Amino acid sequence: MEIIQVGMEKSPFPSLAPSRWGRRTERLVLAAVCLLAAGFRLYILRYHTFINWDGAYYVNYFRDSTWQSVFHPGYPLFIELFRLLIGDGVRAAQIVSVVFGALLPLPLFYLARHFTGSLNSFLITLLVALNPLMVRFGAMTMTEPLYIFLELSAFLFFFMGRPVLFGLTAGLAYLTRPEALLFFCLLIAYSAFKRKRQFVVYSLAGLLMAALPYVVYLRAETGQWTLSSKTMNLRVWEKDWHINVEREATNSPSFTLPERLQSGIKLYPDRLSAYSQLFLVFCGIPLVFLGLAGMFRAPNLLLAGTAMFFVLPLFGLNPGERFLIPYVPFLVIFAVLFVASWKRVSVTLLAEAVMLLGYYPTVSYPAMSEEGIEEFCTAGIAMRPQTRRGDIFVDRKPYTAFYAGGRYVPMPNDPVDSILAFSRRINAKYLVVSARVVRVFRPQLNFLLYSDTTIKHLNLKTAYVAGLDSGYGIRVIQLSE
């Protein structure tokens, strides 16, 4: 594969093995890494039986429009394609993640080869493929594996000088996650600065082929031109979660865009610090510091792939490890390139071993199941025989509604009478009350969970109840026939 440079000087990093590996050797090594990545992810599937929060929306996206919410259609589209072979939606969604997580070394290897030799590129793919974050989310119903595969493919096509393919893959990445537009715009701005007009035009044409139909759809649905409904994540979100829970009430105040921006700026330092600490935990201290050293020693256009990390803290999101995943491959590339500049194979291999050891504290992380969802999913499975597609479940979590085959409406943080009135106003059929939610988020519902007498007094009926003595009980209350 011949890779040409786009508006860049030759990388200052020396190649340890620029010509010793033939195409056959590269392909065999890549195949081995892909099989290793696939094996890890398939093994981890056994620890992730149920859907994830966002996954409930993705799996139902094209089956029930009420589940679409603010999510983009890219990942759901691939889920539907895989459902042609795998009937179960949850398993199909997981296999999409497994497949693209396993294929990730392909664009990553050849992208790295633009800057260094085959051995270094192989070390980069190995470090990324074995990262605990990458392994865990490579077996979950989340967008990350697909998005990162498309993102790295877009970067590869950019450096290969293939503008249409660059635009198309960036457009598919945008359909998966809207932040893809940031790296695309940065790379296009650089090309425009270098007066590569033809490259810019063809890249934009490729992007529009993939993205324009969805933008037109958003216009038809919202009545205004927008690139994403996910702008709602730019919200006022306090460090004190008690305040955030209080704002789940139906009469909670609405904030203007300037107020939301002001809140994001105010909390930016704390959120950036929190994300940075998570990087140290899940990538390890050696990898983070070597990666930063590589970025500062010889910055290049790959930095466009890390730009969103510095925008992310503006959004009202609790800093979570999954938001770091798109930046792991770029951090690894810079780390290995920095070590390779020392020009000794033994040093590079030693540094690789040290970086791998940095993963040790989180080596069990991929096998950790998602907490606090089992009773919701079990209740939904039990409710499925009696649930019709249009039945609305009022709940704080979407799992019961998803597995029951109904529709989900978030539960407001109101007094009990108001919650019941709200549920009847939207023609909800079921109200889900769980011990986990009652203990922390909705204590006012405690008597609905544990008191059969109160249920009868309010002319309600229990459709399902389990585990009340365990401390993790759940009751599904039927509100209407």
Check residue 2 and give its pLDDT. Answer: 37
Predicted confidence at residue 20, as pLDDT, reads 59
pLDDT given for residue 21 in this prediction: 67
Contact between residue 460 and residue 449 where contact means Cβ atoms under 8 Å apart: no
| φ, ψ at 319 (rounded to 5°) | -55, 115
pLDDT value, residue 427: 95
User: How do residues 55-107 score in pLDDT, each as one tens digit?
Assistant: 999 999 999 999 999 999 999 999 999 999 998 999 999 999 999 999 999 99
CA atoms within 13 A on the CB side of 328: 34
- Cα–Cα distances in angstroms (integers) from residue 338 to residues 12, 52, 279, 289, in the given order: 10, 37, 18, 10
Quick one: residue 7, left, alpha or beta (phi over 0 = left, psi -120 to 50 = alpha)?
left
Query: Is 168 buried (19+), middle (13-18) or exposed (0-12) by CB count in 10 A?
Result: buried
* 473, 376 Cβ separation under 8 angstroms: no
**pTM (two decimals):** 0.93
- Give tens-digit pLDDT for 153-171: 999 999 999 999 999 999 9
Phi/psi of residue 414, each to 5°?
-120, 170
Give SS3 for 87.
Answer: coil
Residue ranges, the chain, pLDDT below 70: 1-21, 481
Q: Which residue has the tokens 């190649």?
A: 15
| Residue 11 pLDDT | 40
- The confidence score (pLDDT) of residue 3 equals 38
Q: So what's the pLDDT on residue 344?
A: 82
The amino acid present at 260, given as its one-letter code, is R
How crowded is residue 317: how many other Cβ atoms within 10 Å of its Cβ? 15
Provide the pLDDT for residue 18: 44
Can you tell me the distance from the alpha carbon of 152 to that of 101, in angstroms, rounded to the nearest whole number? 12
Domains of the chain as residue ranges with CATH? 23-367 (no CATH), 374-478 (3.40.190)
Q: Is the dihedral of CA 296, 298, 301, 305 positive or negative?
A: negative
pLDDT at residue 442 in the model = 95
User: Between the CA of residue 170 and those of 203, 216, 324, what are the distances in Å?
Assistant: 9, 18, 19
280 backbone dihedrals φ, ψ, rounded to 5°:
-65, -35
CA atoms of 28 and 109, how far apart (whole Å): 12
d(CA 110, CA 264): 37
